């Protein structure tokens, strides 16, 4: 599948940023960048045209078409010169699903938050009107506005693994994906225990192969097994999008609470600014202080505590 359209100037930078991690080191002639993200190859050309190729080209394209609509009020019809697609609507528009997603695994400071959410078919319209979508398309301000309302509408459960608990768990487990699997399973279990939901699928935003996911849960007694694992599930299922928004909201809240306690603004991510702030905290409070607010297994710890 190939989808091409011209992208507005104010979206280009967002697009480059979004696919940064998946960018290829080489690019075809006249291209600004080319990225290979899961099942899709994305090429942005100097002319402003962007091309999505591959099995999930429509899913990737949809992110940006939606952003053109939201930011520029631009409706782009990509079906003009193409044969009709039988299944062009993302399934989550219509289905009742349960989804889970985690936040904070790429951030040195702050907890890991995993949420599971139930979105019934009847609630989908309400959520779309509220602005629920792939949380990567939302600013922190938008998240703070949408999440509290969302949490009133849908059933959900969240687990916040604070830094001391994370660091203790990591010492035993030494595997981030195992920690994620345990938390996803917990969140799904406790949501399923809340009520007898009617749903088509339970979807986990895939971070590891299914076999590996269940291997990580080998020591766990109660396991949710009827799971569909999908990459980019946030843009395919409203329940995963909702879980992601709630997780992000709780993460931001926790990070600002920690910032207030330690009287330092703790930045997101794991880059050089994070190193700077971490160094200050290490000098003042030592490793013990760092262990209360940071994920010690990250490389940042070695960089910061080096003599």
How many residues of this chain interact with Mn ion, rule: CB under 5 A?
Answer: 2
**CB burial string 46-65: b at 16+ within 10 A, e below:** eeeebbbbbebbbbbbbbbb
- Roughly how many angstroms between the first and final C-alpha of the chain, as a whole number? 53
* Interaction of residue 37 with Mn ion, rule CB under 5 A: no
* Interaction of residue 205 with Mn ion, rule CB under 5 A: yes
Distance CA 295, CA 254 (A): 14
Toward Mn ion, which CB reaches closer, 60 or 205? 205
Q: Which stretch binds Mn ion (CB under 5 A): 69-77, 179-187, 205-213, 223-231?
A: 205-213
Q: Which stretch binds Mn ion (CB under 5 A): 61-69, 153-161, 199-207, 299-307?
A: 199-207
* Interaction of residue 101 with Mn ion, rule CB under 5 A: yes
Dig out the tokens for 215 from the structure.
């291997």
- Which of 199, 180, 307 lies closest to 247, judged by CA? 180
CB-based contact 135:244 (threshold 8 Å)? yes
For residue 276, the minimal CB distance to Mn ion (Å) is 28
Q: Which stretch binds Mn ion (CB under 5 A): 12-20, 96-104, 114-122, 284-292?
A: 96-104
Distance CA 35, CA 67 (A): 19
Toward Mn ion, which CB reaches closer, 115 or 301? 115
Task: Give the residue nearest to Mn ion (CB).
Answer: 205
Strands, DSSP E only, in 46-200?
49-54, 97-103, 112-119, 156-161
Number of alpha carbons in the 13 Å side-chain half-sphere of residue 294: 30
For residue 175, the minimal CB distance to Mn ion (Å) is 17
CB-based contact 22:37 (threshold 8 Å)? yes
What is the three-class DSSP state of 195?
A: coil
For residue 215, the minimal CB distance to Mn ion (Å) is 20
Q: Which stretch binds Mn ion (CB under 5 A): 33-41, 55-63, 93-101, 246-254?
A: 93-101
For residue 114, the minimal CB distance to Mn ion (Å) is 10
H-assigned helices in 233-271 = 238-262
CB atoms within 10 A of CB 31: 17
Q: Which stretch binds Mn ion (CB under 5 A): 13-21, 106-114, 131-139, 197-205?
A: 197-205
Q: Which stretch binds Mn ion (CB under 5 A): 22-30, 77-85, 101-109, 259-267?
A: 101-109
* Interaction of residue 107 with Mn ion, rule CB under 5 A: no
For residue 232, the minimal CB distance to Mn ion (Å) is 9
Toward Mn ion, which CB reaches closer, 105 or 190? 105
Strands, DSSP E only, in 109-216?
112-119, 156-161, 201-205
For residue 184, the minimal CB distance to Mn ion (Å) is 10
Toward Mn ion, which CB reaches closer, 3 or 184? 184
CB atoms within 10 A of CB 32: 15
Interaction residues for Mn ion, span 137-196 (CB under 5 A): none
Toward Mn ion, which CB reaches closer, 68 or 205? 205
Q: Which helix (H) or strand (E) holds 42?
A: strand 40-45
For residue 204, the minimal CB distance to Mn ion (Å) is 9
CB-based contact 82:121 (threshold 8 Å)? no
For residue 126, the minimal CB distance to Mn ion (Å) is 23
Question: Which residues contribute to the site for Mn ion (CB under 5 A)?
Answer: 101, 205
């Amino acid at each position: 599948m190939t989808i091409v359209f011209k992208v507005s100037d104010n979206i280009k930078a967002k697009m480059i940023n979004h696919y940064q991690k998946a960018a290829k080191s080489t690019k075809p002639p006249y291209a600004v960048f080319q990225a290979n993200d899961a099942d899709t190859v994305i090429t942005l050309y100097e002319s402003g045209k962007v091309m999505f190729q591959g099995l999930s080209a429509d899913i990737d394209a949809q992110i940006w078409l939606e952003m053109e609509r939201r930011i520029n009020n631009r409706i782009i019809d990509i079906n003009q010169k193409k044969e009709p697609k039988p299944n062009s609507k993302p399934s989550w528009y219509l289905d009742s699903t349960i989804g889970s997603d985690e936040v904070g695994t790429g951030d040195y400071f702050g907890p890991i938050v995993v949420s599971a959410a139930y979105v019934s078919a009847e609630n989908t319209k309400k959520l779309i009107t509220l602005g629920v979508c792939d949380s990567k398309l939302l600013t922190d301000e938008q998240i703070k506005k949408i999440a509290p309302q969302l949490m009133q509408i849908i059933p959900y459960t969240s687990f916040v693994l604070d830094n001391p608990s994370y660091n203790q768990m990591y010492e035993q487990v030494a595997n981030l994906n195992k920690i994620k699997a345990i938390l996803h399973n917990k969140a799904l279990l406790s949501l399923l225990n809340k009520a007898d939901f009617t749903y088509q699928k339970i979807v986990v935003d895939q971070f590891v192969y299914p076999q590996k996911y269940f291997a990580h849960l080998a020591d766990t007694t109660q396991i949710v097994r009827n799971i569909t694992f999908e990459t980019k599930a946030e843009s395919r299922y409203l329940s995963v999008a909702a879980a992601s928004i709630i997780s992000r909201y709780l993460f931001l809240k926790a990070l600002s609470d920690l910032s207030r306690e330690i009287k330092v603004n703790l930045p997101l991510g794991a880059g050089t600014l994070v190193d700077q702030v971490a160094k200050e905290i290490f000098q003042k409070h030592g490793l013990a202080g760092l262990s209360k607010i940071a994920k010690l297994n990250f490389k940042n710890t070695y960089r910061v505590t080096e003599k």
